[in-house]
A and B are shown apart, each in its own frame.
Chain A
Amino acid sequence: MNASPRISIPDKGLAYVGAARIEGPLVVVERVRDAGYDEMVEITDPSGRPRLGRVLDISETRAIVQILEGTSGLSHETLRARFLGESFRLPVSRHMLGRTFDGLGRPLDGNPPPLSSDLRDVNGLPINPHAREYPREFIQTGLSAIDGMNSLVRGQKLPIFSGNGLPHDRVCAQIIRQARLLEGGEEFSIVFAAMGVKHDVAEFFIRNCEESGALSRVAAFLSLADAPSVERLLTPRLALTLAEHLAFDCGQHVLVLLTDMTNYCESLREVGTIRGEIPGRKGYPGYLYSDLASLYERAGRIEGSPGSITQMAILTMPSDDISHPVPDLTGYITEGQIVLDRDLFQRGIYPPIAGLPSLSRLMKDGIGKGYTREDHPALASQLFACYARVKRIRALADVIGEEALGPLDRQVLKFGETFEHRFLAQGETENRPIATTLDLGWEILSTLPREELHRVSAELLSQHYQTGK
């Protein structure tokens, strides 16, 4: 982990000895000259070990430097700060696929750093909204709950809202294994950023890629639970910087996995608190929305470029609370969300993808005639409507007892069971083609009386409704 930082440019910049204040991950260096906002800083401790930092606030008299690798062992007198004359940049190259790096982009696999003279500012630049291409190519994940009701398209940002102990990693791994376009096309390159997750989680993903023969298409940036928490603030930026290079310079289709965004946000909160910023909801900084947007918006397609960035961020909702700032602000930025549900999970349903709160906003443009199948939009809408009804009747049954329900209500409840056990649930290696998913949807809808299906036209009903179910 402590190979000398590949990113720093040796023998560059001015060095200062001593710090006025060290507090948490922040170091205040005084009488700094000619340093810039967001400039990279290399701090050396008495043992000579270099650590990277960046300038958060700078005036004529002092610079506040955020140390990305922790401040433990640093002392006022002996600390040496070298300002490197540029903001944080990552060398990018397609040869980084198949490699593993730490949270700051240094090789973890024992191989030398990739050769590249192409250095990119890890903050990236916003895509000109006029240059974007609207994403609309359907990706088949082989999971009915996603393909049928919350379809993913190439270039979408669709996070997974999960909870502690829920199988988000397995669901995500299954998506990575199975995701492909309907008409084939080239496979995804995968950029994986792990932030504050345990070693075995990272291990699980990498093994999963290995088993499916995808390892040579994966670049991993790992800032694991034992790494300094501030480091995590950079890790997703490195991953996205590489992804942008692969997608928009090399023309690849890139799937970026960010896990776990809740840890990322906690690091942000930590730094904000130490700086004495006015906290927003639950102590998170007021700029959390803008900060998250600076990551999530780095997905999509660009007109005239063959590549794309599809983004799946995993986050764990503290106490399963979807209104917690992290999922809430994420939902406000991303193009939908896949929500995992503890109740389904406890009832043994895998993948436990919640029927109602999940949403894919780009679905409407990637499905239907010419994309998946003509009946897809109406079928999905009807399944949502019926399942919403199931939920209402379940609440009623909890009060008055199932026996007291009318016959139609009981039929709807039964539909709910079938829907959960046959449509939502599937095996971890079961890869359902979209046609199978849609047919299954109709089969299950056909357990309800035809006249209850308001969202589908008479024409579609006559084509797909199966009498006698």
Chain B
Amino acid sequence: MNPPPGRKASVTRINGPVVTATGLAGARMYEVVHVGELGLVGEIVRLNGDQATIQVYENTTMLKPGAPVRCTGAPLSVWLGPGLIGNIYDGIQRPLPAIKALHGSWLGRGEKIDPLDPASRWTFEPVVTAGETVSPGQTLGLVTETPLVRHKIMVPPDIPAAAVRRIAGKGLHGLTETVAILDTATGPREITLVQKWPVRVPRPIRERRPVSQPLLTGQRIIDTFFPIGKGGCAAIPGGFGTGKTITQHQLAKWSDADIIVFIGCGERGNEMTEVLREFPKILDPRSGRPLMERTILIANTSNMPVAAREASIYTGIALAEYYRDMGLDVAVFADSTSRWAEALRELAARLEEMPAEEGFPATLPTRLAQFYERGGAVTTLAGEPGSISIVGAVSPPGGDFSEPVTQHTQRFIRCFWALDTELANARHYPSIHWIRSYSDYVGAISGWWKKQNPDWTELRTEALTLLQREDRLQQIVKLIGADALPDAQQLILFIAELLKDGFLAQNAFDEKDQFCSPARQAALLQVISQVYRKSRSLIEAGVALGRIRELPALRRLIHVKTIYGNEEIAQITALSQQIQAELDGLVAERGAP
């Protein structure tokens, strides 16, 4: 914890967040150091003899050559324990509410507040007894962190098989109090309610499992068309204002994950405030509890130091892994991974590294891969299933997807929700483009959907095919106008309209429609499919499309999603029958001699 004996480490150069220091012969890569009189937090990113390059997580204004540098002996680590849920941290896990309570509304420098309040007390319930043998990842006891989260106090992954020498009884314990003593081969280890873990190191698991369950998001275009599985990775790229943040907020609100980690990485302060104000008020549709009881926020906004932005992604994913290790399904949202990549670029430039594409460091693809690889469905060390799903926003310059971050990200994710500026401009939300997006999880999770609705695959394929045909037809329409097309083709345009307005468009701010249950998704799609099939045969039989369009019940179809909520599927079915009847009426009319 001290500088190497007899040497005094001091700053030799300051170039923004990158500081060079000398006298650091004993220091280790990625060790955390405190720089200057204020003790600015930094991390060693390069070692060369006794010279070190330090990336400083705070503004370095008025830092001077000669200023002292103190080693901490530890890599950048997070605190793991009860009290994480509901909290909001900066990129290096400094608790923003506690900072506000101490220092007011502005973020000063040299802040060193513990991520979890050491004075907090929690009710611990042991689940093992003295004398028992325990293995890494095994649960020693439970703490009810929030009404939604039964927090497991686990044997740290770095402790090999051990015997429980002592375990605390059920009762209130301080965060840093010893609740268990384990006898290991290397001596006794004391276990407290809090543990530390270096953020850049993935927490170990027993094995990876294939993705098999959908992560249900309540968003129709995602769940039905481009689903993500629990343990899956998705990217959501789009130009500014196309809906990356709102979509991620929607997913954070309505996904059926146990824990949500939302990383605001180089984005707006107000967006974090919005989550902070909203989530405690919104009730999870499944548990009926406030969403904040399962959510952790990391806020390193665009105007906060860029080095801490780089770290924020790792901080977030390390917290996610910890909850995954409890056998939970965690969803991580990173908004925006492009800002993180830019932080890498900025730091690399200051380190005078050779740039690769568009100034990004050559390590960009590796770093992206490492991040997304920390997602996945796994069997934990304790032998339970757990998962981390990752959704990363990508903000390509000029909205052009051919740039390096989008391109490399595509190599490491299997689900791509391409946002489209034209759709966003027309206020068609979510502006996820149905032709340019894809999901590789459809096969993996279709089993689940088929149990809900045996026709799911067929319905989905039919709808997507229709939209593709419409897309091609639009090329012709652009040249000759829609009216010149035969009715059979105009029908495709018409049904595609119904699909877009009545199914795909989903307003995040509509009380009834912001969350759509799988059953309602299927019901809505089914109605449109029936209209299509029936109309097609009517047109074949010579009925004019104009007659079909005029049907009063059909006009209501577009609004059905906002009229009937998740509990009103019967009414959707009733409307469907009414439409059928009206369509049948046209047949009868036609068929009458």
Where the two chains meet, the residues of A that have a C-beta atom closer than 8 Å to any C-beta of B are: 34-39, 57-60, 86-87, 121, 123, 125-135, 248, 277-281, 286-287, 289-290, 293-294, 297-298, 300, 302-305, 323-325, 328-329, 331-333, 335-337, 356-357, 359, 361-362, 364, 377, 381, 384-385, 388-389, 395-396, 399-400, 404-406, 409, 451, 454, 457-458
Given A325-B397, A332-B395: A385 in contact with B105 (beta carbons within 8 A): no
Residue of chain B at shortest CB distance from A324: B398
Contact for B299 among A123, A129, A289, CB less than 8 A: A129
* Interface 1/0 per residue, B210-250 and A, CB below 8 Å: 00000000000000000000000000000111000000000
Q: Across the interface, do B106 and A126 meet the contact criterion of CB distance under 8 Å?
A: yes
Q: Given that A58-B65, A454-B501 are known contacts, is A126 also in contact with B107, CB under 8 Å in the complex?
A: yes
Which residues on B sit within 8 Å (CB–CB) of A289?
Answer: 266, 302, 339, 342
B402 at the interface (CB under 8 A from A): no
Partner of B302, one of A86, A333, A362, A377: A333
Give the most central of B266, B395, B397: most A CB within 10 Å.
Answer: B397
Contacts of A304 in B (CB 8 A): 105
Q: Are B400 and A323 in contact (CB under 8 A)?
A: yes
Q: Is the CB of B270 within 8 A of A286?
A: no
Whether the Cβ atoms of A58 and B400 lie closer than 8 Å is no
- In the complex the two chains form, is A300's CB within 8 Å of B479's CB? no
The answer to whether A323 touches B399 (Cβ under 8 A) is: yes
Find chain B residues with CB under 8 A from A381 CB: 427, 507
For the residues of A in contact with B, the DSSP-based class is mixed
Tell me if A127 and B269 are in contact (CB < 8 A).
Answer: yes
A129-B96, A132-B270, A396-B477 known; A35-B64 Cβ under 8 A:
yes
Does B277 belong to the interface (CB within 8 Å)? yes
B104 CB contacts on chain A under 8 angstroms: 128, 131
Are B240 and A128 touching (Cβ within 8 A)?
no
Closest beta carbon of chain A to B113's beta carbon, Å = 12
Q: A60-B13, A300-B269 are in contact. Are A127 and B277 (CB under 8 A)?
A: no
Q: Judging by beta carbons under 8 Å apart, are B427 and A396 in contact? A: no
Which of B76-84, B135-143, B170-178, B480-488 forms part of the interface with chain A? Answer: B480-488
Measured CB to CB, the closest approach of chain B to A315, in angstroms, equals 14
Contact A286 B62 (CB under 8 A): no
Residues in A with CB closer than 8 Å to B355 are: 278
| Measured CA separation A287–B15 after assembly (Å) | 13
Shortest distance between the CB of B302 and any CB in chain A (Å): 3
Return the contact of B108 from the options A87, A123, A125 (Cβ within 8 A).
Answer: A125
> Are the CB atoms of B398 and A357 closer together than 8 Å?
no
In the complex, the chain A residue whose C-beta lies closest to that of B269 is A129
Closest to B552 in A: A451
Contacts of A328 in B (CB 8 A): 239-240, 397-399
Residue of A nearest to B36 (CB): A36
In the complex the two chains form, what is the Cα distance from A169 to B562 in whole Å?
A: 42
A297 x B61 contact (CB < 8 A)? no
Contact B62 A86 (CB under 8 A): yes
Complex formed: what's the CA distance from A303 to B427 in Å? 32
B59 A396 Cβ-Cβ under 8 A: no
Counting from the closest, the 8 A-B pairs by CB-CB distance are A323-B398, A293-B302, A388-B426, A59-B13, A331-B240, A131-B105, A297-B303, A36-B62
Closest partner residue, chain A, to B477 (CB atom):
A396
B residues near A332, Cβ cutoff 8 Å:
240, 395
B376: min CB distance to chain A, Å: 30
Chain B residues with Cβ below 8 Å from A409 are 481, 483
Distance, CA A279 to CA B345, complexed state (A): 11
Task: Give the residues in chain B near A399, CB-CB below 8 Å.
Answer: 478-479
Residues 288-332 of B, flagged 1 when their CB comes within 8 A of A and 0 if not, give 000000000001011110100000000000000000000000000
What would be 15 A-B contacts, judged by CB atoms less than 8 Å apart? Answer: A39-B62, A125-B108, A129-B272, A129-B273, A130-B96, A130-B299, A131-B100, A281-B397, A289-B266, A289-B302, A289-B342, A290-B303, A323-B400, A396-B481, A454-B501
Do B66 and A287 touch (CB < 8 A)?
A: no
Residues of B within 8 A of A405 (CB): 481, 483
* Docked pose: A38 CA to B277 CA in angstroms: 36
Chain B: CB-nearest residue to A359: B241
The count of A-to-B residue pairs whose CB atoms sit within 8 angstroms is: 209
Looking across the interface, which residue of chain A has its beta carbon closest to that of B19?
A: A37
Residues from chain A with Cβ under 8 Å of B346 in the complex:
286-287, 290
1/0 per residue, CB under 8 A from A, across B3-42: the answer is: 0000000001111100010000000000000000000000
In-complex Cβ contact of B66 among A34, A38, A377 (8 A): A34
- Beyond A130-B88, A328-B398, A454-B558, 17 additional pairs, beta carbon < 8 A: A36-B61, A126-B304, A129-B269, A129-B276, A132-B272, A281-B397, A286-B346, A287-B306, A290-B266, A297-B269, A300-B269, A302-B105, A304-B105, A328-B240, A332-B240, A332-B395, A454-B501
Whether A58 touches B425, Cβ cut-off 8 Å, given contacts A135-B270, A287-B306, is: no
- A58-B64, A454-B558 known; A133+B398 contact, CB < 8 A: no
User: Is A60 a contact partner of B12 (Cβ separation < 8 A)?
Assistant: yes
- Residue of B269, B306, B480 touching A400 (CB-CB under 8 A): B480
Q: Is the CB of B397 within 8 A of A132?
A: no
- For A125, the chain B residues whose CB sits under 8 A away are 106-108
Query: When the two chains form their complex, are residues B61 and A37 in contact, meaning their CB atoms are under 8 A apart?
Result: yes
Q: List B549-589 residues whose CB lies under 8 Å from chain A.
A: 555, 558-559, 562
A126, B427: Cβ atoms closer than 8 Å: no
Instruction: Given the known inter-chain contacts A58-B14, A289-B339, A406-B482, please indicate yes or no for A451 contacting B555, CB distance below 8 A.
Output: yes
In the complex, chain A residues whose CB is within 8 Å of the CB of B264? 129
Distance of A86 Cα from B63 Cα, bound (Å): 10
Cβ–Cβ < 8 Å partners of B266 in chain A: 289-290, 293
The distance in angstroms between the C-alpha atoms of A186 and B17, with both chains bound, is 42
Bound form: Cα–Cα A399–B96 in Å = 57
Partner of B100, one of A121, A123, A128, A333: A128
Contact B303 A293 (CB under 8 A): yes
A457 → chain B, closest Cβ, in Å?
A: 7
- Tell me if B60 is interfacial: C-beta within 8 Å of chain A: yes
CA distance A405 to B483 in the complex (A): 8
Residues of B within 8 A of A278 (CB): 349, 355, 359
Residues on the B chain within 8 Å of A384, using CB: 425-427
Assess whether B63 is in contact with A300, with CB atoms less than 8 Å apart. no
Residues of B within 8 A of A294 (CB): 302-303
Asked if B345 contacts A286 (CB within 8 A), the reply is yes
Q: Which residue of A is nearest B272, CB measured? A: A129
Q: Does B99 belong to the interface (CB within 8 Å)?
A: yes
Q: A35-B64, A37-B62, A357-B425 are in contact. Are A290 and B306 (CB under 8 A)?
A: yes
Known: A129-B299, A336-B241. Is A134-B270 also a contact (CB below 8 A)?
yes
Q: Which residues of A contact B241 (CB under 8 A)?
A: 331, 336-337, 359, 361
Q: Are B106 and A128 in contact (CB under 8 A)?
A: yes
Question: Does B158 sit within 8 A of A, measured CB to CB?
Answer: no
Tell yes or no: B358 within 8 A of A by CB. Answer: yes
Q: Across the two chains, which residue of chain B brings its CB closest to A36?
A: B62
Question: What's the nearest-Cβ distance from chain A to residue B524, in Å?
Answer: 15
Verify A36–B63 contact, CB threshold 8 A: yes
Q: Give every chain B residue within 8 A of A451 (Cβ-Cβ).
A: 555
Contact status of A388 and B427, CB under 8 A, knowing A38-B60, A130-B96: yes
Point out which of A325, A332, A362, A389 has the most chain B C-beta atoms below 10 A from its C-beta.
Answer: A332
The B340-358 residues at the A interface (CB cut-off 8 A) are: 342, 345-346, 349, 355, 358
Q: B274 at the A/B interface (Cβ < 8 Å)?
A: yes
**How far apart sit A404 and B481, CA to CA, in the bound complex (Å)?**
8
Cross-chain contact A286 with B269 (CB below 8 angstroms): no
Q: Which residues of A have CB within 8 Å of B303? A: 126, 290, 293-294, 297-298
- With contacts A290-B302, A290-B342, A405-B481 taken as known, whether A132 is within 8 angstroms of B269 at the C-beta atoms is yes
Q: Which among B66, B106, B264 has the greatest number of chain A C-beta atoms within 10 A?
A: B106
Q: Which residues of A contact B59 (CB under 8 A)?
A: 123
